[in-house]
Amino acid sequence: MPLWTAAEIAAATNGTASADFAVDGVAFDSREVGASDLFIALTGDSTDGHRFLPQAFEQGAAGAIVSADTPHPHVGVADTFAALNDLGRAARARMAGTVIGVTGSVGKTSAKEALFAALDRSLPDRVHRSVKSYNNHTGVPLSLARMPRDTTIGVFEMGMNHAGELSELTRLVRPHIAIVTAIAPAHTAFFPDESAIADAKGEIFRGLEPGGTAIVPYDSPHRDRLIAAAAPHAARTVTFGLDKNADVRAIEAMRLPSGASFVTAKLGDRELSFTLSQPGMHWVSNALAVLAAVDAAGADLVRAGLALAEMGGLAGRGARFVATAGGGDMLVIDESYNANPASMRATLAVLAEEPGRHVAVLGEMRELGDASADYHAGLAGPILAARVETALLVGEAMAPLVQALEGRVEVMHVADAATALGRLKDLARAGDAVLVKGSNGVGLSRVVAGLVDSSAGDR
C-alpha cells in the first residue's frame, strides 16, 4: 500500500486533486525529495516552496500540495501549512497502534532514538519515529504525515521555546504515553524561571489519550509540579530515576572500562540487568525513562535491554570517533548539536572519565536571557572537575567563563567555529580526549567535520 493516494490527501486537506497519484514519502524541503515523494510547497516570510516545484519533480516527486497553479500532479489547497497539519491529523487518526510523545529540556532526541531502538528490537519495521530533531510546528506534523498506515508504535519528539507551543503539538500527536526526560535551564530568555519551563514541558500531558500514562523524572526538583500537571489527564503516572522511591529506578549503575555502564533497573517487583553502551549518568536516566515507556507500551523489556547495549552514538549527541593528532590518535566526543547548562555539566562529567589529556571545545549557550553571564561563568567548576587542561571557548557569550577560568587552566577564546578548528588542530596531540559541545547556532559541527576528515576509525 502507498503511504498516501491523491484522493486520501485531498480528503484529509479539503483540497482538490488534479490527477490520480500515489506517494511513499512526504517532504517540504525540496532538497530532501526522493522518488515517489509528496512535496508540500510551504510559504513563509522569506521563501516560497512553489519556486522549487520543478526541482522537486526532477528529483522524483509523484505529487505536490500547492496553493498556486502548477502543471505538475497536485492537490490544491488554500493554505499549504494548514494542509500539512491536516495531513498529520489524518495520519494520526488512521493509526490504530500506540503513540508515545517525548519532551524535555535535555535528552529528548537521545531518548527518542533509544526508545525507537528498544521498540524496534521487538517490532522490527513496525515502529515509526520522527527523524533528526523534527520537533516543532512543522517537524511534528511532517513526522506524523510520514507515518506508515500499519505502524504499531509511533514515537514523536516535541520541543518548545515558548509557553503554549507544546499544548498545540501534543493535541496533534495525541500520545498514549507522554515522557518528560528532564527539566533544565534552556530557552530561559523566554521564561521567568525554571518552574515556568517545567510548566511548559508539562503541557505534553494535555494531549494524552484516555487511559494514558505520564512518565516523569523522580529526581527532578520539579517532580511534584510535573505530577500535578499530569494528574488531570493521565490515568497513571510513572516516575523514573536513581532515588529508591522512583517507580523505575537504577539499583546499580557501574561504569565499565569501555565507558559503557552496567545497569540493574527495578520496575516494581521485576529486575532487569543490561549494558548501556552510552556513557554517563545522564544516559542512565534516559535509559530508565525508555524502560518505563517500553513497559507502559507492553513491549519486551529484555529485548529493549539488548538494544540499549548495541546503540551507537548519535551524531552531535555523543558520537565518538578517533582522529589523528600529533602522529597518533585522539578521542573526539561529538556533542556539537546543542547545549544548555545541564547538558554541559553532564557531558563534562563524561569527559572526566576518559584517560589522557582533556581538551574541551565549548561553544556559547544561547537563549539564556539575563542570566547568561552567570550560567556561562558557572561552567568553571564542572570544567575543573573534569580535569580539563585546555579550554577552547567559542563565542562572545563565553567571556564570563574566560574570566572565571583565568589562571586556573589554559584558556583560548575565539570568535567562531572555523578559528576554533584551526586552533584545535594546532594544539591537539596523540592521546587527547576532546569534547566538542555548544549551541547549534555556534556551528561546532564544522569543527567535528574537520576532525572527521582525519579520522582513523570509530572507537
- The CATH number covering residue 298 comes to 3.40.1190.10
The terminus-to-terminus CA distance of the chain in angstroms comes to 41
Which band of pLDDT confidence, cut at 50, 70 and 90, is reported for residue 158? very high
Judgement on whether residues 245 and 176 belong to the same structural domain of the protein:
yes
Domain final residue pick, 87, 112, 147:
87
In this predicted model, what pLDDT tens digit does every residue of 255-269 receive, in sequence order?
A: 888 888 999 999 999
Instruction: Report if residue 459 sits inside a domain.
Output: no
Instruction: Report if residue 129 sits inside a domain.
Output: yes
To the question of whether residue 105 is assigned a binding role by annotation, the answer is yes
As a whole number of angstroms, the distance between CA 15 and CA 97 comes to 27
For residues 94-119, give the mean pLDDT: 94
- At 338 the pLDDT is 87
Which band of pLDDT confidence, cut at 50, 70 and 90, is reported for residue 294? very high
Instruction: Report if residue 252 sits inside a domain.
Output: yes
3-state helix, strand, coil in the chain (%, to 5): 40, 25, 35
Q: How many domains does the chain have?
A: 3
- At 257 the pLDDT is 84
Instruction: Report if residue 328 sits inside a domain.
Output: yes
For residues 61-86, give the mean pLDDT: 97
- Average pLDDT taken over every residue of the chain: 94
To the question of whether residue 106 is assigned a binding role by annotation, the answer is yes
Judgement on whether residues 338 and 439 belong to the same structural domain of the protein:
yes
Residues in a beta bridge with 40 = 65
Judgement on whether residues 80 and 116 belong to the same structural domain of the protein:
no
Instruction: Report if residue 251 sits inside a domain.
Output: yes
Judgement on whether residues 83 and 206 belong to the same structural domain of the protein:
no
Q: What is the CATH number of the domain that holds 450?
A: 3.90.190.20
Judgement on whether residues 80 and 106 belong to the same structural domain of the protein:
no
Which band of pLDDT confidence, cut at 50, 70 and 90, is reported for residue 448? very high
CB 255 within 8 A of CB 353: yes
DSSP state of 314: B
Domain final residue pick, 279, 310, 341:
310
CB 437 within 8 A of CB 361: yes
To the question of whether residue 110 is assigned a binding role by annotation, the answer is yes
Instruction: Give the max Cα distance, the chain.
Output: 71
Grid coordinates of 337:
548539536
Which band of pLDDT confidence, cut at 50, 70 and 90, is reported for residue 192? confident
In this predicted model, what pLDDT tens digit does every residue of 295-342 receive, in sequence order?
A: 999 999 999 999 999 988 778 888 889 999 888 999 999 999 889 898
Question: φ, ψ for residue 246 (rounded to 5)?
Answer: -70, 145
To the question of whether residue 201 is assigned a binding role by annotation, the answer is no
Domain final residue pick, 18, 53, 87:
87
pLDDT score of 455 more than 70: no
- Give the lowest-confidence range in 35-44, 127-136, 219-228, 280-289: 127-136
Grid coordinates of 404:
572565571
Judgement on whether residues 122 and 45 belong to the same structural domain of the protein:
no
Q: What is the CATH number of the domain that holds 51?
A: 3.40.1390.10
pLDDT score of 427 more than 60: yes
Judgement on whether residues 99 and 59 belong to the same structural domain of the protein:
no
Judgement on whether residues 78 and 147 belong to the same structural domain of the protein:
no
Judgement on whether residues 287 and 436 belong to the same structural domain of the protein:
no
CB 90 within 8 A of CB 83: no
In this predicted model, what pLDDT tens digit does every residue of 7-48 receive, in sequence order?
A: 999 999 999 999 999 999 999 999 999 999 999 999 988 889
As a whole number of angstroms, the distance between CA 171 and CA 251 comes to 36
In this predicted model, what pLDDT tens digit does every residue of 212-249 receive, in sequence order?
A: 999 999 999 999 999 999 999 999 999 999 999 999 99
Displacement of CA 277 from its chain's centroid (Å): 18
As a whole number of angstroms, the distance between CA 163 and CA 309 comes to 36
Question: Strand 328-335 vs strand 319-325: parallel, antiparallel, or unpaired?
Answer: antiparallel
pLDDT score of 457 more than 60: no
164 burial (CB, 10 Å; 0-12 / 13-18 / 19+) is exposed
For residues 371-393, give the mean pLDDT: 96
Judgement on whether residues 294 and 350 belong to the same structural domain of the protein:
no
Closest CA to 397 of 189, 126, 117: 189
Grid coordinates of 28:
517540504
Domain that holds residue 56: 4-87
List, in sequence order, every beta strand (DSSP E) within 10-116. 16-17, 22-23, 25-27, 37-40, 63-66, 74-76, 98-103
Closest CA to 447 of 359, 358, 348, 355: 359
- At 188 the pLDDT is 63
pLDDT score of 452 more than 90: no
Sheet holding 388-394, edge to edge: 410-414, 388-394, 358-363, 433-437, 328-335, 319-325, 455-458
pLDDT score of 384 more than 70: yes
Judgement on whether residues 152 and 50 belong to the same structural domain of the protein:
no
Judgement on whether residues 66 and 174 belong to the same structural domain of the protein:
no
The number of residues making up the chain comes to 459
Listing DSSP states for 315-340 in one string gives TTBBEEEEEEETTEEEEEEEE-S---
pTM: 0.84
344: left (phi over 0), alpha (psi -120 to 50) or beta: alpha
pLDDT score of 458 more than 70: no
